[in-house]
Structure 1
Amino acid sequence: MPATVLTIGELADRTGLTTSAIRFYETKGIVTASRNAGGQRRFMRADIRRLSFALIAQEFGFTIKEISDQLATLPPGRAPNKADWQRLSQQFKLHLDERIARMERLRSTLDGCMGCGCLSLTECNLYNAGDAATIYGRGPRFIYGDKSFAEDD
């Protein structure tokens, strides 16, 4: 039977992270250590999952703050159960769906007008004449999901 608590070194061995990286994640609220009588950090086995979630979410471009905010919805002081992870999963899926949609828009329009305001492509005059997309804000507005002016309603 595996131990229910891990030292920082054991957690590092299991996750592939350095101990300094684990301490960094601890400062960001991704994991929380308890202390033994000697003041040494002890982590729950469930922290392996929290760190794994953080690593993969970072790989897909989520910020530490976004990840920390998601993990903050899990109950403190105990290992999250399946229902806890399902609740987090439902919320996180919304964020993933948004990113996937944005990536698909980028893939399909990268060689065309993105609504960024550069007006360097000939089709920009059709889709973003006079940089009209600026009314939506800064950046590549059509990639962010704003409708181009050439699209039918």
Structure 2
Amino acid sequence: MMASSGLSIGSLADRTGLAVSAIRYYETQGLIEPWRNSGGQRRFHRADIRRLSFIMIAQKFGFSLPEIGGLLKALPGGRTPTPQDWARISEGFRAHLDQRIETLQQLRNNLDGCIGCGCLSLPNCALYNPQDQAATKGKGPRFLMGDHSETENRS
């Protein structure tokens, strides 16, 4: 196949390991932008192989499709991203991954104790979260999200 004719959706699926339906879904989400040849068939840039690989990796890192779309907007359409393009995006990945690692470490370190959800269901909650003080900080597992109990702050 000539480079100017682009890749068929089947070729793109073979190269990326994605199902054709997944590629079509990413197209509907605006993450890739094929064109139509004179026969009306979708054609993709070779750079879409890397774009789709990037989407798969970013999803494994926990990024949502809207977040991934925002990152992809910074990449050039129709050409393979340069090392400088990837370096710029990887900076944001690092910050996101560092936050996830910190959250996972907090979860690991608190598995046998209160996770700060404000449920008052554990005997330790009377110590870590008296009168459900965590609820005043907002919804969700507040201590896991980085808040500290008042008893910790006094220590």
In the alignment, structure 1 segments of 5+ residues that lack a partner are none
Question: 2: distance between equivalents of 1:99 and 1:46?
Answer: 29
Which residue in 1 is equivalent to 2:153? 152
Distance in 1, matches of 2:84 and 2:145, equals 32
Contact persistence 2:35–2:43 (CA under 8 A):
yes
Which structure is larger by alpha-carbon Rg, 1 or 2? 2
1:78 is aligned to 2:86:
no
Q: Shift of residue 75 of structure 1? A: 2.4
Give, as a single letter, the amino acid of the residue that structure 2 aligns with 1:20.
S
Give the aligned partner of residue 22 of structure 2. Answer: 21
Percent identity (aligned): 58
Aligned length: 153
Give the alignment of 1:2-151 within 5 angstroms: 3=3, 5-151=6-152
Q: TM-score, normalised by structure 1?
A: 0.88
Q: CA deviation at 1:12?
A: 0.2
Distance 2:77 2:152 in 1: 48
Instruction: Note the residue ranges of structure 2 that are not aligned, 5 or more in a row.
Output: none
The secondary structure found in structure 1 opposite 2:44 is strand
Counterpart AA for 2:87: Q
| Shift of residue 61, structure 1, vs aligned partner | 2.9
Secondary structure of the equivalent of 1:120?
coil
CA RMSD after TM alignment: 2.1
Q: What TM-score, normalized by structure 2, do the two folds share?
A: 0.87
- What amino acid is aligned across from residue 67 of structure 1 in structure 2? I
**1:72-110: CA deviation from partner (whole Å, max 9, x where unpaired):** 221234322111111111112111111111111111112
TM-superposition CA deviations, 1:93-152 (whole Å, max 9, x none): 111111111111111112211111111222212221111111221111111111222223
Whichever residue aligns with residue 12 of structure 1, its letter is: A
Distance 1:138 1:86 in 2: 35
Amino acid at match of 1:105: Q
